[in-house]
A and B are shown apart, each in its own frame.
Chain A
Amino acid sequence: MSSHRHDDNDHDHNAPDTGPTLRVKALETLLVEKGLVEPAALDALVDTYENRVGPRNGARVVARAWVDASFKARLLADAVAAIEEVGLAAGPQGEHLTVLENTPAVHNMVVCTLCSCYPWPVLGLPPVWYKSAAYRSRAVIDPRGVLREFGFDLPAGVELRVWDSSAELRYMVLPMRPAGTENLSEDELAALVTRDSMIGTAVVTCSKDAAARPAK
């Protein structure tokens, strides 16, 4: 667990804790005492989703699809099998992963209007905005307005497809590869891919500086 973050609720152990802190502590205490959970297993879950699983996973998949057309075909046909090729496993909330390809004719955007369903294995845990009432309500009725709010105007002739993750399918968008990236390596390409572009609320851009930057 991170010891670097200043957690307002926990900085003074002698002060009475308010809000959820106390209640969660009490529940964890009780469940540990009853032998229903193990602190080490809880720590491992936190570590996995805080540090080991995140959008960098999805970015690797996108970059591979950009450089390898046959991988892209396999990804679009069976995403669960394909992501194993880049060392990922379709774990919790990703067992029924589908990748949606953005093209000049079609732009895809993903939401879960009912709760927060999100493709954890490739994107990690969802950001607060994805789970917000504002996004969940507007994504299906005003997706073009949402995209404008995120900073880009979808041209009128492009078909916009919004995918509401109401069942067990989890969606990841394969954004279009930006122009000017022909000379970049796969790692450099992956570094360009943002989380929002894999949700569908952004596109991947490549500035001249980014094209010149060495791979991390």
Chain B
Amino acid sequence: MNGIHDMGGMHGFGPIVRERDEPVFHHEWERRMFALAIAMMGNRTFNVDQYRQAIERMPPDQYLATSYYEHWLFAFERLLIEKGVVARTEIDVVMAALRAGARPPQAPVVKAENAGDAVESSKEAAGLSEALGGGARSLRYDESYRARFKEGDRVIGRNRNPVGHTRIPRYVRGRRGVIYRDWGVFIFPDTHASGEGANPQHCYAVEFTARELWGGEYPADDRVYVDLWEAYLEVDGDAYSRDGKSSKSGSRKAIAQGRAAKPVRVRGVKKSAPPREDA
């Protein structure tokens, strides 16, 4: 969505304020908020793309006026209620009880020896990794998803303005760039957030010159690299005709019709396990 969170290139936010010897967490509630969100993504109550989208749905004035972990709290509570995990009335009741000084019963806290190691154990970490958007490395190198683009290809960020979650920043839409690197196959956040499926596809580092993004007075040597999924990109046909070359990437018909070429399953290649669908 074209939300306030999409800040690249905005002016007016003032100096970058830095705190000396800043602690990781400034308040106890931030510690708990962090851990709760990670844990609930770990158990697949929601996925990280849904979480980011919930933050993006915060009213802009609130987003700018609140702290980082307050964004997390807004998104967390909203998702829990929307998914029917807790009801607003339940939250209200418990908050009233806490305000009145009542200490609600809690499960006994048993601090396990080397509890931190448990989190770092490979199986848990792998599950947590995947839940937080890391995805499976096997998906990343899955050759059954053919790449539409290759390094050096000239592309344009599509001018798409979805109301849902997307990870193409506004500042590259309609902008001409070059494929710098093909990072491999990843779950597509737009559809993963909306519940429309994993829709895995190639994701590329796309190189834009500062001049292309912001204007001719910018240093010629400066570049911005943005990681963009294949569906965010179209062929820069003009660049090719200017160069007198033809584009060899993607299906010509799809390009002519302005559609992203569908990922092509390579015949004869055994498809690996289907990507995990979101919970």
Contacts and interface: CB of A to CB of B under 8 A. Distances in A.
A169 B99 contact: no
Contacts of B19: 127-129
B80 interface: yes
Contacts of B55: 115
Interface in A85-102: 89-96
Contacts of A26: 91, 94-95, 98
Given A92-B132, A169-B183, A8 B224 contact: no
A103 interface: no
Interface residues of A, number: 92
Contact of B70 (A20, A137, A166): A20
B240 interface: no
Interface string B94-128: 11001101001111011110011011101001001
B269 interface: no
B9 interface: yes
B221 A160 contact: yes
Interface string B1-18: 000011111110111111
Interface residues of B, number: 96
Contact of B223 (A52, A115, A134, A162): A162
Contacts of B219: 144, 156, 160
Nearest to B137: A95
Contacts of B125: 89, 91-92
Interface string B61-90: 000100111100100110010000110001
Given A134-B13, A161-B225, A169 B205 contact: yes
Nearest to A167: B227
A180 interface: no
B106 A48 contact: no
A140 B9 contact: yes
Interface in A1-59: 1, 5, 7-10, 13-14, 16-17, 19-34, 36-52, 54
A86 B13 CA distance: 39
Nearest to A126: B68
Nearest to A47: B116
Contact of A149 (B16, B35, B186): B16
Nearest to A113: B8
Interface of B: 5-11, 13-19, 22-25, 27-29, 31-36, 38-40, 43, 45, 52, 55, 64, 67-70, 73, 76-77, 80, 85-86, 90-91, 94-95, 98-99, 101, 104-107, 109-112, 115-116, 118-120, 122, 125, 128-129, 132-135, 137, 140, 167-169, 171, 183, 186, 189, 203, 205, 213-214, 219, 221-229
